[in-house]
Chains A and B, each alone.
Chain A
Amino acid sequence: MPVIEAGFKQYDGMPDRKQLLLYGPTLRVSVGPYKMPEQPHELRVASTLALIDTGAGASMIDNELAVNLGLIPVDKCIIAGAAGPTEHLVYMAAISIPELGISQFGKFTGGNLRLGGILQNVLLGRDFLANTIMIYDGVKAQITIISADQYVPKRESV
């Protein structure tokens, strides 16, 4: 089973506790369209950072990134958070974690993550965690992610 680290490293290669506290468990993902475009040159994929958010039920993509990638809006939803309910676009997309061999296809809620001061362009929620094992060692500032499966079934609804 593929294993990766989702923490931060200092220049000397040691775990960076400060960065982990500030930004949370972070790994690199690829975000792209749900369907391959007919013309290969039209394919737009971004390699970007994702925050592993155990408090989020479902994964989320930054709205600006979604627009830049030309992701197709296919619904809207209401998110009730600490600031009250807000309406969000829902895009169809694919999120891949190449190092784990995981690809997640389906509907992803858009959010103003970067505008809200979050470092990452993607939140990976418990739908992602449902297919992984995460070991959070806060003392050593080491986050280990193990993929339980090579493939995540397509999510059919938000």
Chain B
Amino acid sequence: MDLIIGGAYQGKLAYGKEVFSLSEDDIFICTPDKEPDFTKRCLVHFESYVLRCIREDRPVEAPLRADAVIIADDIFCGVVPMDTEIRLWREECGRALTALSLRADTVTRLFCGLPLRLKG
């Protein structure tokens, strides 16, 4: 499993598509109101799946493929939000992605379209 992390609009998906030769059919865009299709190789906006889990009050469990490419926005920087749900989401994203990074073969952070390899 490979993990790509970074701020909003930093070119994470474009990088993932290029490096892992992903086609449009490989990609699932996560939203809070829909269960991800874990048979897809690449899950984008994984942080939105974390928000879905928060709203349904369940642990962030993801039956990922061995060759999965997980892409997430690092929404856990910035000021502690006043809103309870957003605050829990922010913290849970940090935990969930830290746990994923332990399992990941590679971890890459994108900065202004440029990759920095953090692991692997």
Co-assembled chains A and B: no
